[in-house]
Amino acid sequence: MVMPGPDPDDYPPINPDEPVPDDPGTLSPDTPETLPPAPVEPMPGPDDPGNVPAGEPEPV
């Protein structure tokens, strides 16, 4: 079951005439400067039903 989200009446109104800051850090100061590296996903094995067929090896 999905929990309901926050009540939209608790947020201040959005002013479309207000300028958007150039630095996103002012909007979310607790976020890191860069994203962490993506996790390594395992390649499918030969017994996996959706495995990716190997193509011809590239010449070196």
Dihedral angle, C-alpha 11, 12, 17, 22, nearest 10 °: -60
The closest alpha carbon to 52, from 42, 38, 40, 37, belongs to 42
Q: Flag whether pLDDT at 2 surpasses 60.
A: yes
Residue 30 confidence (pLDDT): 74
pTM for the whole thing? 0.26
Residue 35 confidence (pLDDT): 79
Report d(CA 49, CA 58) in Å as an integer.
25
What are the tens digits of pLDDT across the range 21-43?
777 666 677 777 787 888 888 77
Between 4 and 39, residue with greater pLDDT: 39
